[in-house]
Amino acid sequence: MISKMNIDLPCHGVDCGFGESGGELGCTDGGSCFEARMLEASESKFHDPTLVEATRKINDILASLPKDPQGRQLSFLHTNLGTMLAWVRHDMDVPDSAIKADSPNDRIIESLGLINPPYRA
């Protein structure tokens, strides 16, 4: 069993991944699961005022979401197909057979219920 049980700190991706099993998402080892929060940065050539404002608005939207009554953490899941929002549990054992970020794309699509993924291969 892969498990990251009883983590009190939010996922930051370096140590956290996701695993889907039985319709639930749990925290695993990895690098594919991050706390749902955009990093803020000073204005620059690559992070212009439009992006500074967009980041603020996205964070405001994420912060406005109610806490999950089941205690799951709002997270960004990063896959080869893109990024999605999900509620991730830190209190479950994730089996080795779970669908993870490095699983085949077709299994990720099915497991996460992705609609119109950019590609399937």
Taking only the tens place, the pLDDT of each residue in 53-108 is: 999 999 999 999 999 999 999 999 999 999 999 999 988 889 999 999 999 999 99
| 47, amino acid identity | H
Domain boundaries, the chain: 2-112
Residue 27, number of CB atoms within 10 A of its CB: 26
Q: What is the pLDDT of residues 19-65, one digit of tens each?
A: 999 999 998 888 899 999 999 999 999 999 999 999 999 999 999 99
**Whole-structure pTM value:** 0.84
The pLDDT, as a whole number, for residue 91 is 85
